[in-house]
Every structure is written in C-alpha cells, then in structure tokens.
Amino acid sequence: MGQNHSSGDKAIVIELEREIEHLQAELERQRQHTALLRDVALACRGGADPQQVFEAIYERVRQVLPIDVFYVALCDRADTSAYRFVLFVDEGVRYDLPDRRVGGLTGYIMQQRRPLLFRDLHAERQPPPAPQPEAFGNLAKRSRAWLGVPILAGREAIGVLSIQSYTPAVFDDSDLELLRALADLAALAIENALLYEAQEQLSRSLAERVTARSEELAVMTAIATSFSQGLPLATLLDTVLERVLWLLGLDGGAIYLYTAPARLRREAQRDPDDALMPAELSLDDARLGRALVTSAPRDEHARERLLVTVPLRVLGRVVGVMLLHGPARELSEHERTLLEAASYQIAVGIDNARLLEQQARQIARLEALATIAAASSATLDPCAILERVAVRLQPLLACDGLLLATCDAQRQRLINGIMCTADGAAQPLQATAIDPHSRLARLLSEERPLLIGSADALHQALPPQADWEREARTWLGVPLQGRNGALIGALAIASRQQDAFDQRDLQFVSAVAHQLALDVENAQLFQAARVSAAIAEQRAENLALVHSISRLVNSSLDPQTVLGIASEQLAQLFEVDHCGIVLYDGEGWQGEVVAEYPALGALHLRVAFPNVEDFQNDLQYLGQPIYIGDVDNDPRTRPIRQLMARFGFRSMLIVPLISRGRAVGAIGLNWRVPHQPLAPEALDLCRTIAAQVANALENARLYHLSVTRIEQEMEIARAIQANLFPTRLPEIPGARLAARCVPARETGGDFFDVLPLDDNRFGLSIGDVSGKSLPAAMLMAVARSIVRSEALDHALPEDVMCQTNMLVAQDVPPDTYVALCYAVYDARSRAIDLALGGQLTPLLRHADGSVSFVDAPGELPLGIVPDVRYRTTRVKLQRGDSVLFYTDGLVEAFSPQGELFGFERLAQTFARWGGHAADEIVARLLEAVAAWQGDRERHDDVTVVVLQVI
C-alpha cells in the first residue's frame, strides 16, 4: 500500500513538471509575441511608410512562427470589389502578383471582417459555397496551416494579413490573437500614412495659395508704389499694364485716358493689335459704354478671344479705361476682385500723377517766369532775350512751332525775334511784313489773347500758314503790350495735338508776354542801371580793398611791420613802380624813409620840403593827395629831385598821413614813366587807406607806450615782492636752512618766510596763493604779513593757522585762497611742530637715505571758511634728517611730452641729494625740475625750503 502511494505521488510530480514546462513555454511564447508587437509598434511611429511596416511585420513574425507563406492584401476604398498584394513572400521568395477581384479566403475575410484559422486547410475545408483558397506563389506545394485576419479601419475592412505553413497544425488561437494585433498595427500605420499624406497635400495647397496671394499682393504693392517713383506717366502706365497682364495670365492690353469729354487716347500698350486696341476710343463704342456704366470689369468673347474692359474710376470719376485680351476663358470671381483692386490703384495713381505733373508744371512755369526775368537783366539784345525765352517755353508746352518777336504795329512789320519749327530748329527772324490774312495779323489787330483749339475752326479762320505753324491743330497767341498799352510784339505757339492748350496755358503765356513787354521797354533803363551798377560795384570793391588793407595793417602792433605791409599793398593795388613811406621827425615836412616796396635802397634816406608855401594851394594841411606829373620840371620837387632822378621816377602822388589833425608823414606812389592823374574814386581810396595806416601807426605807438608802462610797473612790483622774501636766512643751532622761490612771471603767488621766535625756536612758513601776477603778489604780501604777526602772538602752529585763516577770510575777495604750511622748529629738542592748510605734505629724508611723507592731517586752504580748526603734528628729527617743504609748482611741472614731474620722481631726487648740504639740495631739486620741463613754458611758481639737522 505504501508502494502504491509512492507511485501515485511520483505520477503527480511528473504531471506537475509537465505543466510547469508547458507554462514556461507558453510564457516564453507570450514574451516573444510581446516583443514582436513592441518592435512592430516602434516601426509604426510617426508617418511611417506602410510598406516598411509590412516588411517589419514579416521579418519579425517569421522569427517567432513557423511560416512558409506571408502576404498582405489591400483594397482601394473607392472600389472594395478588388484588392492587390502589397507584399507576398513564399519560402523567402517575393512575388509581384496582379490585382485580384474579391474572392477566395481573402475575399471572404474582407467581406465578413473576421479572422479565419485552419490548423489543416485540406481537412477542415468545407464544400461550396464555402470559400475556396486561391492558388498563389509556389503552386507545387499546398498550404496546410492557414491563418488570416482582416485589416480594419474603423468598421471597414481595407485589407487582409495572412500567414501559412506547408505543415499542418502549427498555428493556434494564440497566434491568431498575435496576428490580429499585428493587423491592427498595420491599419494604424496605413491610417497615419494617409493622414500624413493628406496633411502634406493640405500644406502644399496652402503654400500654393499663400504663394499666389503673395504674388498678387506684390503685384498690387508694385502697382501702388510705381506711381511714387517720379517717372513719366506713360512709362508708369506701361509698367503697370505689364504687371496686370502677368497677374491674370493674359496676352496683351492697353490703357486709355481721357483727352476730351467724349474721347480717350491710348497711353500704354502691350502686344500691339490695332484691331483690338486702336489709338483712340470714343464713348460711342458699345462695350466701352457698358463698362463705364457698370463701373466693373466686363469680359466677353470675340474670335475665340477673351476681351476684358476695366474702367479706371477714382472718387466717382472715370479717368480712363483698361482693355485686356487673352485666350478664351471665364474670369473667376477672385480675378474680378483683383481687377477691381488693380483698376482702383491705377486710377488713384493716374490721378496723383496728374496732380504731381500739374504741380511740377506750375513750379516749372514759375521758374520759367523767374528765368525770363533774369534773362532780361543779363543782356540788352532783344534777340538774345527772345531766344532764351523760347528755349525755356518749349519744354513747358506741347509746342510744335513758336514765334516770338517785337513789331511795329503801325507799319504792320515784325522787327526782330525768333522762330522755332516742329523739328526744334530755332531761326532768327529778320524784319518782315506781317501777312494781313494770317492769324498773327488777327492777333495784333484784336490786341487780345487768341486761342483756337479746334482743327476745323483753325482752318476755317485764316487758313494760310507759315512754316512754324504748319499742320497745327491748336494755336495760341498773346500780344506784347507796354505799360501804356502800346503794342510792341507778339508771342504765338502752335501744336499738332488736338486741344493741346487750355485756359491755364493761356494765363501762363500771357504772364510771359507781360514780362517780355516790360523787358523790351526797360532796355534803355537797364543800360543806365548797368552803368550805375558798375559804379556801385567799383565802390564795393574799393570798400573791400580798404577793409582788406585795414585788416592787414592792423594785424600787427609793430610800427615797422605796419608800414611794410602798407607799402607793399599800396604798390600792388595801384600798380606803381615804387611806394615809399616817410615819417616826419619834427616840425615841417622833414623825415626819414621808413618803408618801401620794392626795396630800391631808399630806406632810411632823409627827405625834406623846406618851402611849405609851395604846397599851400594843394590844401596839404587838409590832407589832400598831391599829384606831380613831371618831377623834373615841377618846382615843388626841387628838394627831392636828385633823389627821384637816382631811382628814375618821373611822376608821383604824395598822400599825407594825418593823425590828430597833424601831418605825421606821407606816402609816395612813384612811376618811372609819365602817368595820368588818378580818377577821383582812386584818390578817395588813397586817402581812406592813408587814414587807416595813420590810425594803425597811432595804435602801435599807444600800444608800445602801454607796454612800456606795464613793464615798468611790473618791474617795480617784482622789486617790491623780492624785498618781501628774507634777504638772509637766520642761523639755526644744529641745523642748516636753505630756501628759494622761482616765480613763473615777473611776480608770483608763492612765498616763504623764516621768523626767529626766540634763541632756539624758529617759525617756518611756505605758502601758495590763488591766481597769478600782480593780484597774486598782493595777496601773498597780505598773507605773509598776517602770518608773521600771528606767529609772534601764538606759540602753537594750529593757533597761528586759525587766526591767520580768520583774518584772510575777512580781507580777501571771493574765490581766492591761500595754501599754507606753518611749522615751528625747536633746536633744543630737534622737534618740529607743523600744521597744514591746503599745502602739500612735507617730505622727510632720514639719515639712512629713506624718504617718507610726514604723516600730518591736511585741512582747507585759508580764506575759504573762516572757522576751520587746524591741527598740529609733531615730528621728532635725528641728526642727518632733512625736511623738504615745497609748493605744487614743483611736482606739477610738465615735460614737453605733457608728463608730470610727480611725487615719485620728487621723492627719488630728494633721496639722492638729501645727504648733501641744504643749499645744494635746493639747487639740485630746481635743476631736476628745469631739466624735466626743457623748453616748455613754466606756468606755476616753484618754492623750495629745506631744513637739515646736523
């Protein structure tokens, strides 16, 4: 019994193991199916090509299932009665199979929209009418295991996915579920591909529409902007017409504009066809009339051609019409809209262009009137005036012929003028009789403007024509009438264009004629005015010369330079052989030649006229020039005759130099040949220039007197200031003292002082006041005196500084100050007490050669704020120590390159020479600064004080 029990347990274990193996196999199979579905799903991402998805399914399924045949069949949604194989593989061989009608197992699955599973196709197949398998691929073998599932898009079957094997019973329900899942993925891939394709088609359609709209917008913008380019209207219309034709894809067309109330003229044309696009249109044209009435584009067909009539309307007015033609077709609503928009833009552009042309024409006519007025003032020749007017008029009017002439109305003759023909040739018009039957005769007889705008009226009235008006269709004439209404000429213009002139042209030509009439009448007056203008111009030139010479002679305060400039300018101005200037040195007319040009050796020669009575009749004392035409024979030149003969002078002009009502000299203009007396204007010019020279000499004399006086005063101030400095420095027990002040000018603002307080205490002060020259020197003297006074009353430097600051602040003007350092040296303790007020910190050189700045607090300079509190600093000195007091002129000295001497360079120099005697230290420091400045001008005072403990 135990044995039986053992056998039963063993059988259970074996059964469990088999079950476990089966479950593990099934689990592995499910894992493979899951991996296969994942791989196929990844292949379906995005807009994947369905063919690639089917290939991915095939490649992965054959790795999992024992398949021999694999195919995918799809049907067209528009025709579900047939299908095609998009992939057919039989034992690894791909076949391209023809399209099939729905039938067999594939057709059955598509119709029923449910899967089929045959474990053994031949054993399970049912007799008709059950679906029968169709023969595909390798016909030598027959499929045994067969599995197919529909590919569904929603509830609609769009194809079949099938796998087969030549071995029976290799597929089961799990494989069926796998294939159904794969079919769903395939359907999803197909749907995505269709969606992506539809999206691409939509994008392409939108892009094409955007491109079309952009092109249309570009054309419309180009049409609108073309009219702002300032080109002629005909050129603009030609360009605009080309753009419209391109926009609509038409062959040709034309643009017509109104020339008369009932007629239009062709202004632009493309692909000329006179039968369709004649040169002129009339409102009698039926299709034109209909289009203008409807105010919208009209299209009609003639001779298998599309003809489009587009009115050009703006602000309720029709300014023209556009005719277009091309292959026969119907215009779309969109094209009609474009035409309406384009026609409006063109009409607005035409209107604006005409307004601009009218404005430009008005401006040009105003300019022409100004030019005509200018032409009359430029010449006294009537023919020249008329020719210029004719040249100016022709571009402003539709002119094919022009006549502009003066006339004798009583004798019915043209006197002179200009005649222009249609070819632009201009011919002078000689004196000739006027044809009594001509339009010109009618104009002169009626004495009023004449405008004939109709060709018929033109030929009915006065048919004979001159060459300049031949073939005219419009004629315009205006009489030239003087101030009293007298007829003095005529202006007539002819044009071959119908209605070429209007009332505005008549008004313009009338204004021209009025101006011309005034010009002819004013010819003689103009000649007189011309003479007056020449005189005025000469006077202006003389004034400019006087101004130029005055500027030159007053450009210097050196008398010799003034006289040299004057002699050169006068010699060149009056084109004389020599100019000499004499200054009198006493009573009478005796003096020395002080300037000449050119240099002939007359400089410094003596000239004397002892007989003053000889010149009494020349009003010499009133400053009138004296002309001597013959030096050799004029008795007035006896004293200088020999001198004049030495240089070969034959005639001369003496111009006195008058200053303060007295003759101080004379200018001599000399010629080597006999010379005619100068004109009165030239003599006035000489007298004016002489007065300028005399004034310049007086200014130079006064300047030198002033400079001399200032120099004397500055020398006195320098001497006074020098006396303020200690003439001899006191001897300090156990110390050496040296000091020096170098002013930048005659006087300066720096100062120093050494005041013995008792046998062992000495007060040292060094300061720098604001400003330069005399004001600084005066402030320096005040500050020095106050410091000396307060130093005797107070022992501490800070008290001296405070009291001095308070007094200086009361006495000095605003914006002035004193930078001061006051120190007290005690010879017994070798200590120095100091206080700073805006002054630079002293330098201390120790016996070992090291240099440092004294650590002392600085306060405001004296004189700015009256209640500043200053502080005293004590510095203990040793034998061999040296203290350097200095002003900012030492460190702020600039090199020729603009670089500062600076504190660092000062410290180095002091360290180098600080071991020498005090006076040598001062000398070396000043030498170093002078060498640093080179030739550069010194702009600040330099003061140095050295205290050396020995």
Question: Regarding predicted confidence, which is higher, 294 or 15?
Answer: 15
Retrieve residue 792's tokens: 């005797």
Nearest Cα neighbor of 235 from 345, 314, 318, 353 is 353
CA dihedral sign, ordered 915, 916, 922, 924: negative
Q: Is residue 449's pLDDT more than 80?
A: yes
CA 787, CA 799: separation in Å to the nearest integer?
A: 11
For residue 146, the cross-strand partners are: 118, 164
Residue of 180, 367, 133, 332 lying closest to 249 (CA atoms): 332
Which DSSP string corresponds to 123-136? HHPPPTTS--PPP-
Question: pLDDT class for 861, splitting at 50, 70, 90?
Answer: very high
What mean pLDDT is predicted for residues 645-649? Answer: 88
- Residue 224: pLDDT band (50, 70, 90) is low
Burial (CB count within 10 angstroms: exposed 0-12, middle 13-18, buried 19+), residue 592: middle
What is the spatial distance between Cα 879 and Cα 780, in angstroms, rounded to a whole number? Answer: 34
Per-residue pLDDT for 58 more than 90? no
Cα–Cα dist 244/252, whole Å:
10
Q: What is the pLDDT of residue 943?
A: 93
Greatest extent of the chain over all pairs of C-alpha atoms, in Å? 192
197-206, 789-798, 926-935: segment of lowest average pLDDT: 197-206
> Is pLDDT of 247 > 90?
no
The token duo for 548 is 């130029």
Amino acid at 524: Q
Contacts of 410 (CB under 8 A, 6+ apart): none
Question: pLDDT tens digits for 500-546?
Answer: 888 888 888 888 888 777 777 776 456 545 655 555 555 555 555 56
Q: What is the mean pLDDT of residues 489-499?
A: 85
Residues in CB range of 719: below 8 A, 6 or more apart: none
Q: pLDDT at residue 827 above 90?
A: yes
893 or 47, which is more confident: 893
CA–CA separation, 671 and 651 (whole Å): 5
Under 8 Å CB-to-CB from 945, ≥6 apart: which residues? 737, 738, 739, 752, 754, 764, 766, 884, 885, 886
In this structure, what DSSP letter does residue 842 have? P
Could you give the CA distance from residue 752 to residue 470 in angstroms, rounded to a whole number?
Answer: 109
Asked whether residue 621 carries a pLDDT value surpassing 50, the answer given is no
Is the four-CA dihedral 138, 140, 141, 143 of positive or negative sign?
A: positive
Closest listed residue to residue 689, CA positions, set 803, 545, 794, 593: 545
Count of other CB atoms within 10 angstroms of residue 374: 10
CB 387 within 8 A of CB 419: no
Give the number of other Cβ atoms within 10 Å of residue 724's Cβ: 14
In this prediction, residue 822 carries a pLDDT of 96
Chain centroid offset of residue 332 CA: 49
pLDDT value, residue 783: 87
Residue 359, amino acid:
Q
- Taking a C-beta distance cutoff of 8 angstroms, is the pair 167, 86 a contact? no
Q: What is the mean pLDDT of residues 642-665?
A: 84
User: Distance (Å, rounded) from C-alpha 797 to C-alpha 786?
Assistant: 13
pLDDT tens, residue by residue, 351-404: 777 777 777 777 777 777 777 667 655 666 666 777 777 777 777 788 888 888
CA distance 482 to 524: 14
**What is the per-residue pLDDT for 129?**
55
pLDDT at res. 929? 93
What does the mean pLDDT of the chain come to?
A: 80
pLDDT tens profile 125-152: 665 555 767 777 777 788 889 999 998 8
Amino acid of residue 502: D
pLDDT of res. 614: 55
Q: Which of 811, 802, 739, 755 is nearest to 780 (CA)?
A: 811
The 3-state secondary structure of 386-420 reads HHHHHHHHHHHCCCCEEEEEEEECCCCEEEEEEEE
pLDDT at 122 over 70: yes
Give dist(CA 568, CA 599) in Å, integer.
10
Q: What is the pTM of this model?
A: 0.35
pLDDT in tens, 5-30: 567 777 787 877 777 777 776 677 77
SS3 71: strand
pLDDT value at 581 more than 60: yes
Q: What are phi and psi of 425, to 5 degrees?
A: -75, 135
Q: At what angle do helices 503-521 and 382-393 cross, to 10 degrees?
A: 160
Label the pairing between strands 843-845 and 116-118.
Answer: unpaired
